[in-house]
Amino acid sequence: MDKKTRLISAFDQKPVDRVPVGFWFHFTGENMYGEKCIQSHLDYYLNSKVDYAKIMCDGYFRPPMDYGVKNASDWTKIKPVGKNSPYIAEQLERAMRVNEVLAPDRCTFYNIFAPFSVIRWCGEDMVMAHLKENPKAVMEGMKIIAEDVAELARLVIEKAGCTGIYFCVQGGEKDRFTFDEYRELITPSEMHVLNIANSVSDYNMLHCCGWAGDPNRLEVWQNYPVKAVNWAVFIENMSLSEGKQFFGGKTVVGGFDNRPHGVLYSGTHDEVTTFTKNVVADYVNAVGDNKGLVIGADCTIPADVDFKRLVWVVDAL
């Protein structure tokens, strides 16, 4: 079974010859941009033996322009940048170039941050204050930003040839919003992006990010329309088999702690091998088979990880 067939089969809950695996990390410094970023992706994915690739949006976290927002009402004045802007065009070029090499024999997914994550780069304290002061204005701004995010999602699939998107949702910490607040304020912009992505691909992933180290209110994302879900097992205290039930039987991605003290980064060969086998065994014991399982990590792994450690995981599987 080749890499592409293996992952698609896992996403479709079909039998696989072995459980597929994927890990990724942020590229930093000069490797965040241009040709160096493209080559860094290729160097990693061609030498780590993992089954699929996540193309990172490093260098494009911040909003594409200065929105000039100072007052809550200013959110109603922002404009979409459009597909011809460098923000979208340069990311599309990155995806196309990486896919020229990788897409023929493996699935690829482009990292897409949700609109709420994008506006937080404008200043988290300001955004949260504006949401309390004038939530309708901020929602209108997120709706505009969602147009750009959704257009990027559509283009990386339709034009660049990605299998789907890896949609990163953040802001679900339990002390940030109630369930009803999140669903009213944030979910509409996220659903717009997912609806566009799903219109061009059946294979989109959801990442419920535990970046702050605080547990999320996972139920706000529980019924999002995606093919597979990745969350921070070690932060949310929800195992892969528990998550499979919680997320309605969707394919689950994860199993490893992504932090430096985790076994993937710091363990011996035997420890990594044993841990890998135990992740699969625990899932099979709970679910009954290994269908709908993809091995990965809670989030991005440290950029200085030794690639041989990832090969240990593949070999163990």
Boundaries of every domain in the chain: 3-316
Residue 250 carries which side chain, given as an amino acid letter? K
Average pLDDT (9-27) is: 97
pLDDT in the model for residue 64: 64
Residue 168 has phi, psi (to 5 degrees) of: -95, 115
pLDDT at 275: 98
pLDDT of residue 62: 76
Cβ partners under 8 Å of residue 7, min gap 6: 20, 22, 51, 52, 106, 107, 294
User: pLDDT value at position 211?
Assistant: 85
- The order of strands in the sheet holding 205-208 is 53-55, 108-113, 164-169, 205-208, 228-231, 251-256, 293-297
Residue carrying structure tokens 């041989």? 308
| Segment 49-98, tens digit of pLDDT | 999 999 999 999 876 666 789 999 999 999 999 999 999 999 999 999 99
Both tokens of 23, joined, read: 């890990």
Query: So what's the pLDDT on residue 269?
Result: 98
The residue written with tokens 């597909």 in the block is 83
CATH code of 3-316, in short, is 3.20.20.210
Condensed to tens digits (0 to 9), the pLDDT of residues 140-171 reads 999 999 999 999 999 999 999 999 999 999 99
Mean pLDDT of the chain: 96
Tell me the C-alpha distance between 250 and 11, whole Å.
Answer: 8
